[in-house]
Structure 1
Amino acid sequence: MLPPLLLLFANLVLLSSAPNTTASAAADPPKLSAYQVLLAYGFPVGLLPQGVTSYELDPATGKFSVYLNSSCSFSIEGYSLKYKATISGTISRGKIKDLKGIQVKVLFFWIDIVEVIQDGDEIAFSVGILSASFPIDNFYESPQCGCGFDCVNSERQSSSIAGDGDGLMMMEKKKKSTMTMMSLRKVINHHLFQM
């Protein structure tokens, strides 16, 4: 099986070099989803909420735009997040910069998340002068607009009652996520009050 980045490159080469005919269009491989592109660049799918309708990506520069069916907001462990209907930035292996369209509410202020860096088993989110890191496994699933990860966790927990065994693992993930979100809140609040 081809590595995700090689698959993305092959897909883009085929799309750009194919003649513009109906017959060749039918033979082209399907376009990767925005979630698959995240994986190809080393990011988990959970950086984007469910509901991505399309995206544009310039592979030469890494500039991208992601389109959701509408703006999206949800809370995760006391933090409110807002995704605009269009999210843009520049992506490269393990780094998203010049990010626009995602905000986190800290106290009474909405602050733009401007950069995301994947470093080993951690994902770091930057709001400019401050950043916070979280375990990458907190983002293996995409949050759902309106309820974040709680929708996913409640579905998994109810299915574990039926005996599939995933519920305990999901409850442990939720505890870990709660602890890291509380740590982020403490760091941001500490820095805000120190200014």
Structure 2
Amino acid sequence: MKMRCSIIFLCILAYANVTVSEKLSPYDVLEKYDLPVGLLPKGATGYELNEKNGHFTAYLNETCIFGIKSYELKYKSTIKGVISKGKLAKLKGVSVKVEVLWLKIVEVTRDGDDLQFSVGIASAGFSVDSFSESPQCGCGFVCNSFDKNGDVSSL
């Protein structure tokens, strides 16, 4: 009986290890669908993906706001959309501030080395390379921190 329990236990452990190692991060999921990781800010805590219909939900610890160039972006703690190769459609939870208005980004589409961000009535294009890294909540891509000598340096 002891031998049989050990074998079952080892089988359960082996299965658990395979399952855990196969779990992708939300950033890995973006890359799997040919989208850059920088579409999500740093610190995404998890996700849900229905591979049959493409429903994708990513989770952040809290609402995240930061500036990139002349834009201010806001991510809610839950971001939802439908993901497919090179496209995030029916996006909910991401907004961009244009002048004094917050507009919802409803779709992101990759076309070669370019990304198109649509707010429904208008869109803006950016290079995919601009999103090769994830921005950080609060400071985007231009964050300062203290190095080991106490000097301020850019990350």
Instruction: Normalising by structure 1, report the TM-score.
Output: 0.66
- 1:22, CA displacement in angstroms? 4.9
- 1:31 corresponding residue in structure 2: 23
The C-alpha deviation readout for 1:34-65, integer Å capped at 9, x for no partner, is 10110010011000000100000000000011
| 1:101 corresponds to 2:93 | yes
Distance in 1 (alpha carbons) for counterparts of 2:55 and 2:13: 28
| 1:70 corresponds to 2:62 | yes
The C-alpha deviation readout for 1:143-162, integer Å capped at 9, x for no partner, is 000000112xx67xx9xxxx
Q: Which structure has more RCO (C-alpha within 8 Å, separation ≥ 6)?
A: 2
Q: Which is higher, the Rg of structure 1 or of structure 2?
A: 2
| 1:144 corresponds to 2:146 | no
Q: What amino acid sits opposite 1:62 in the alignment?
A: G
SS in 2 for 1:144: coil
Percent identity at matched positions?
55
| 1:46 corresponds to 2:38 | yes
Structure with the higher fraction of residues in strand conformation: 2
- 1:91 corresponding residue in structure 2: 83
Let me know the Cα RMSD of the aligned residues.
Answer: 2.1
Q: Aligned match of 1:134 in 108, 126, 142?
A: 126
How many residues are paired up? 137
Distance in 2 (alpha carbons) for counterparts of 1:61 and 1:108: 36
SS in 1 for 2:115: strand
Q: What amino acid sits opposite 1:71 in the alignment?
A: T
| 1:118 corresponds to 2:107 | no
Q: What amino acid sits opposite 2:17 in the alignment?
A: A
Q: What amino acid sits opposite 1:81 in the alignment?
A: L
- 2:73 corresponding residue in structure 1: 81
Q: Hey, which bits of structure 1, 4+ residues long, moved more than 6 A? A: none
Distance in 1 (alpha carbons) for counterparts of 2:17 and 2:68: 42
Unaligned residue ranges in structure 2 (runs of 5+): 1-11, 148-153
- 1:79, CA displacement in angstroms? 1.3
Distance in 1 (alpha carbons) for counterparts of 2:14 and 2:116: 45
